[in-house]
Chain A
Amino acid sequence: MINLLAQTGTAPGEFLDGLKGVGAGLGYGLAAIGPGIGIGLVVGNAIQAMARQPEAAGMVRTTMFLGIAFTEALALIGFVVFILIKFA
């Protein structure tokens, strides 16, 4: 690998920086997929619950909102890992 880098004129440090950027970007992207699926599930089931039982809509929406916020925390953790890997 080092020979290959020497042939292409890329310093090992730059190569490692590039790998770090790829890793950080992949980590953030992958960390955002799960919450996207999770929010879809939470809201889908909340809509179903509200359609079945409209009188419980307030309770369902309360739970739904907190569920969405908790699911988003996963993406936020992924984002923090991204900025720490990439910029710190």
Chain B
Amino acid sequence: MSAQIAGSAWSELGETPHVERDIVFDMIKRAVWVGPILVGIGTAIWGWKGGASTAFAMLIVVVNFLIAGLALGWAARTSPAMLLGVSLFGYLVRLGLITAGVLLVKDQAWVKLVPLGLALIVTHLGLLFWELRFVSASLAFPGLRPKPSRSASVS
């Protein structure tokens, strides 16, 4: 009985907005803005290798967010079991992809591990906190961006 209720309730979720995709595209837009600045800082401190490593780390973070957002968005509209499975195994797979990506390039001449690691953490957390600032301001809305109210636009 409860499973039927949960199933009927879940079928209504298909009409919800694509919040994960919106969040990820927002973060990618911000990464495009911030990217040159971070690469410039990396280049200024560690030389051109630092800049290249920073750019590679940003690419890893953005691709990681993109895969996570699209996979979770799809799973959330499919079923609860799929959401749980995709979130946990997706975490494992993406961790493996990040590890493989870094291990593949670690011996390349253009890679410096310290800026690569630092840029991974800074970019990941920076983009998340930036997004969180915006989302926490609009948590009362189902989507990301609160639409301007009519009274606000009149005044």
A70 within 8 A of partner (CB): yes
Instruction: Give the A-B contact count at a CB cut-off of 8 A.
Output: 120
Contact present for A68 and B72 (CB under 8 Å): yes
- Inter-chain CA distance A72–B88, complex, in Å, is 11
Q: Is the interface of A mostly helix, strand, loop or mixed?
A: helix
Contact present for B139 and A65 (CB under 8 Å): no
Q: Is the interface of B mostly helix, strand, loop or mixed?
A: helix
* Chain A residues positioned under 8 Å from B132 (CB to CB): 66
Contact present for A80 and B121 (CB under 8 Å): yes
How many of chain B's residues touch chain A, expressed as a range?
35 or more
CB contacts under 8 Å to A, within B71-90, are 72, 76, 80, 83-84, 87-88
20 A-B residue pairs with CB within 8 Å: A43-B83, A44-B84, A51-B9, A54-B10, A59-B139, A59-B140, A61-B16, A61-B19, A61-B20, A62-B20, A65-B19, A66-B131, A66-B135, A68-B87, A72-B91, A76-B121, A76-B124, A79-B99, A83-B113, A88-B113
A residues near B, CB below 8 A? 32, 35-36, 39-40, 42-44, 46-47, 50-51, 54-59, 61-66, 68-70, 72-73, 75-77, 79-80, 83-84, 87-88
